[in-house]
Structure 1
Amino acid sequence: MFIQLDLESAEPIYIQLQHQIIEGIAKKKLLPGDSLPSVRSLASDIGVNLHTVNKAYKQLKQDGYILIHRQKGVVVNPEGVPKADNSYRELLAKNLRPYIAEAVCRGFTEEEFIQTCKQIYSNFNERGE
């Protein structure tokens, strides 16, 4: 699997793990219906506590990215990720606010911020990065 964690990062490991899996789905490295390792197996493979993986999986399940079956194990949601709704749009705006505020404080122009976003976004469309 493509998971690469930064154990020195201030960002919690379970959040890094969530982000890596979501990025894998966005870049089509993980397709609807694809199997993911069990909690125990992934924890062992990446060298973290199984509760850390379990916490990431629970959040991914709650957000609709994965399903957890007793027989099938963990799979990327076969129906795909739920489409953006007003609730998601509000959450996205809330999460972007601190990054935009920091960019403004550091002298980024609106154009620079948007260009940075466009560059990152294009990496997902190209399945690259």
Structure 2
Amino acid sequence: MVIEIDFQSDEALYTQLMNQIIMGIATSRLQEGDPLPSVRQLADTIGINMHTVNKAYSLLRQEGFVSIDRRKGAVICLDVDKLRAMEELKQNLRVALARGCCNNVTREEVHSLIDEILDEYEK
């Protein structure tokens, strides 16, 4: 698993880490049952604080993307509640679409962009 952190970004490090793991799941680079590196190992590998990795893993667990076991560590576990995921997606899309409308992005351009992105996640 390759994680790239942008230390110049305004986005929080734990958010970047979470998003990269979620993208790994969506693109099938990470599969159900795959173990994630230990908190200490991942923190050392990418050069961030262990508490940052721990926060990302904890939030991923809360969102249903990983399970955490003392013996096995963090493991990809796709037990996401679809209704909750749909509501979160709807909220995020509202903001993204509002930004697009402010920049005169057309409905057709949005549909094309969504199809392009979803094609990246086809399994």
State the match for 1:21 in structure 2: 21
Could you tell me how far apart the structure 2 residues matched to 1:23 and 1:122 are? 13
1:61 shift after superposition: 0.3
5 Å-filtered alignment, 1:1-129, equals 1-77=1-77, 80-85=78-83, 87-125=84-122
Output the aligned Cα RMSD.
1.3
CA contact (8 A) 2:22 2:65 kept: yes
Spell out, residue by residue over 1:17-62, the C-alpha distance to the aligned partner (whole angstroms, 9 max, x if none): 1111011111111111111101111011000111111111001000
Could you tell me how far apart the structure 2 residues matched to 1:65 and 1:73 are? 13
Give the TM-score normalised by structure 2: 0.93
1:81 shift after superposition: 3.3
Give the TM-score normalised by structure 1: 0.89
Could you tell me how far apart the structure 1 residues matched to 2:29 and 2:89 are? 23
- Equivalenced residue count is 123
Could you tell me how far apart the structure 2 residues matched to 1:63 and 1:99 are? 21
Percent of pairs with identical residues: 43
